[in-house]
Amino acid sequence: MRLRPKSGDWVLAGLILLVIFLVPLVFVRQNTGIVTAIVAQDGAEIARIRLNGLADAIHVTYAGQYPGTILAENGRIRFQQAKCPDQICVHTGWISNPGQTAACLPARVLIRLEGTATGDVDVRLR
Amino acid sequence: MSDCDKANRDAAAQSHGWLRRLALNGLFIAMAIVLSVVERWIPITALVPIPGVKLGLANIVTLFLLFYAFWTDAAAVSLLRCLLTALMFGGMASLLFSLGGAMLALPAMMLTKAGYPRWFSVIGISVAGAVGHNLGQLGMAALTMKSLAVFSYLPVLLGAALVMGTLTALVAGPFFSAMERTGLVRRN
């Protein structure tokens, strides 16, 4: 059985590495310091939280077959607890950068972080 | 011996071949399920702290069937394995995702297998299967979440496919060679 990599193997590996470096360019927007978390269940938005300067932690609960709780703090957000079988969402932990996502696939809940575009910054310094 | 006897014997042999294939495929499904259970005992997320990443040991069975049986066997075994593991450990949601993975992993491996050994080694075939599996799952995730944002997870999953696919091939390759030396299996 042949295990020595052949030319096609290298091409495949090269393609994979290329996509790995290209995808972040599409998804990660410029971080202007203002991060908004958008929580959606089944594609419908259930919460939109501006993460910067959150004085108190915010809990977002969602219902359904696999209910759970999302915890938002200053600058970061995570799945705190969930009743889903795989617990992948909870193990994902905190996310804090624009373009990052955390998902609970069984519950169909997605947390998406967006960086605010330069057009609507609060303070502009010259 | 009359022609009638001979025809009967041929029919018996043929049905035996069919039964043999059925029994063997049942065995392979059982083996694949055992591998996907064993895989849960290996704390791979302790080594690479990425949620949702797994070794994909059950794919060794699909890979084996692609080399030593027909692609129809590989397809039947991997689809039934998805169905049974979902029934035993997951649920409807996990069935959807594993089917999505298998639906892309199989064609990816069949394509690269067609280029064996001229263009691809077992590593390439295994990695292609892992990439297909992860893409299929991500596609299913995008469909159920109704959002393309999940594709931001693509680089992580592709990196994982490269590493895990290679590891799986490094386990499968020597095992296949050993099986060939026993003379029990012949490459198709």
Q: Give the per-residue pLDDT at B8.
A: 64
A19-28, A102-111, B28-37, B155-164: which range is least confident on average? A19-28
Percentages (nearest 5) of helix, strand, coil residues in chain B: 80, 0, 20
| Domains and their CATH numbers in chain B | 3-182 (1.10.1760.20)
Closest by CA position to B81, among listed B65, B99, B63, B56: B99
Q: Give the per-residue pLDDT at B148.
A: 86
CATH code for residues A27-118 = 2.60.320.10
| Phi/psi of residue B77, nearest 5 degrees | -65, -45
Q: Give the per-residue pLDDT at B4.
A: 65
> pLDDT tens digit string along B121-147?
999 999 999 999 999 999 998 998 888
Average pLDDT in chain B: 88
Domain boundaries, chain A: 27-118
Token pair recorded at residue B86:
């979902």
Q: How many CB pairs under 8 A join A and B?
A: 120
Beta pairing, strands A76-82 & A109-115:
unpaired
Q: Do A3 and B173 touch (CB under 8 A)?
A: yes
Write the residue in B123, B131, B150 that is nearest to A110 by C-beta.
B150
Token pair recorded at residue B121:
């080694």
Write the residue in B51, B121, B162 that is nearest to A16 by C-beta.
B162
Q: What is the ipTM of this complex?
A: 0.81
